[in-house]
Amino acid sequence: MTGPAENGGPAGGRVIAVVPVRGGANGKSRLAPDLGAEERERLVGVLARHVVTTLLAVVDRVVVVTADLSSTRRAVGADVRLDVIEQSREGLNGAVADGCDFAFSGRAARVAVMHADLPLLDPTDVLALVTAEAPVVLAPDHAREGTNAIALDRGLAAWRFRFGQGSFAEHAAEAERHGVAPFVLQRPGLGVDLDTPGDWEALPGDARDALRRLIRSG
Ligand SMILES: Nc1nc2c(ncn2[C@@H]2O[C@H](COP(=O)(O)OP(=O)(O)OP(=O)(O)O)[C@@H](O)[C@H]2O)c(=O)[nH]1
Ligand SMILES: C=C(OP(=O)(O)O)C(=O)O
């Protein structure tokens, strides 16, 4: 794997990743039937660390956006090179909008927004997202209902995020409003998120066992 400088964006510009994290006792609430509060909190940290370190193999900089700076910093790990900023707007859409404003107010040519709960993500997925030759790249979940990642070129800084139920169709419509055809990127590493007990059961056995060990050992 080459480093960030060699990869660049489609035009060789600087790529900044934005990762929203809802940690503490509030994250991953749909897994409450199977996991206790402490295990869910550890799971948020383990997954976020995996996503952030995978991104760092490819992009120039990673910005984590959260309502809870200190617990998120701790959960991802003090050894990981990243910026953590506090969200000023509410909810997931507010957090990613804050992160993109931060990134585009710097020198980002392309921003890659990525959810922090993608257990199968690897650097080739990130590379595909940041080098796709389109101003908007949408990576839907495996059911093509939600959106797990979006790459936006600098010209799309006025983009409005529409995460929530049915967000893939909403984001495709948002691209149309901007007069651009989105590139749709479907890969297992980008499509598999971990929201429900069913998602947990559908994971490959080795990934599920590794995650289980990590969240039990603390
Ligand atoms: N900063 C921030 N991140 C959020 C917020 N809501 C969700 N996220 C993050 O957005 C990504 C997708 O989250 P979801 O799967 O919708 O929510 P979740 O909190 O992980 O799980 P549920 O409680 O089951 O909805 C994950 O990286 C979350 O940590 C929020 O209000 N603020
Ligand atoms: C909010 C979303 O994610 P999830 O389905 O993980 O809640 C989304 O994909 O828009």
Ligand 2 atom closest to Cα of 166?
10
Give distance in angstroms: CA of 5 to centre of ligand 2: 31
User: Residue 196 gets which letter from DSSP?
Assistant: S
Residue whose pair of structure tokens reads 């869910």 in the numeric block: 40
Order of all β-strands in the sheet with 83-86? 83-86, 61-66, 15-20, 110-114, 147-153, 136-140, 183-184
pLDDT tens, position by position, 33-86: 999 999 999 999 999 999 999 999 999 999 999 999 999 999 899 999 999 999
Tokens of 157: 């800084």
Pocket probe mutation, ligand 2, options 92, 145, 186, max atoms within 8 Å of Cβ: 92
Q: What is the mean pLDDT of residues 5-20?
A: 70
pLDDT band of residue 24 (cuts 50, 70, 90) is confident
**Ligand having the closest approach to the CA of 30:** 1
122 close to 207: Cβ distance less than 8 angstroms: no
d(CA 196, CA 3): 34
pLDDT tens, position by position, 95-152: 999 999 999 998 899 999 999 999 999 999 999 999 999 999 999 999 999 999 999 9
Q: What is the mean pLDDT of residues 164-168?
A: 98
| % of residues, the chain, pLDDT over 70 | 94
pLDDT band of residue 12 (cuts 50, 70, 90) is low
Q: Which residues contact residue 83 at a Cβ distance below 8 angstroms, ignoring those fewer than 6 apart?
A: 61, 62, 63, 64, 102
Q: What is the pLDDT of residue 26?
A: 81
163 lines ligand 2 (CB under 6 A): yes
DSSP string, 17-69: EEEE---TTTTTGGGTTTS-HHHHHHHHHHHHHHHHHHHHTTSSEEEEEES-H
72 lines ligand 1 (CB under 6 A): no
pLDDT tens, position by position, 119-128: 999 999 999 9
Q: What is the pLDDT of residue 8?
A: 45
d(CA 200, CA 211): 10
34 close to 197: Cβ distance less than 8 angstroms: yes
Pocket probe mutation, ligand 2, options 22, 26, 141, max atoms within 8 Å of Cβ: 141
pLDDT tens, position by position, 52-63: 999 999 999 999
pLDDT band of residue 218 (cuts 50, 70, 90) is low
Q: What is the pLDDT of residue 107?
A: 84
Q: Is the dihedral of CA 171, 174, 180, 181 positive or negative?
A: positive
pLDDT band of residue 198 (cuts 50, 70, 90) is very high
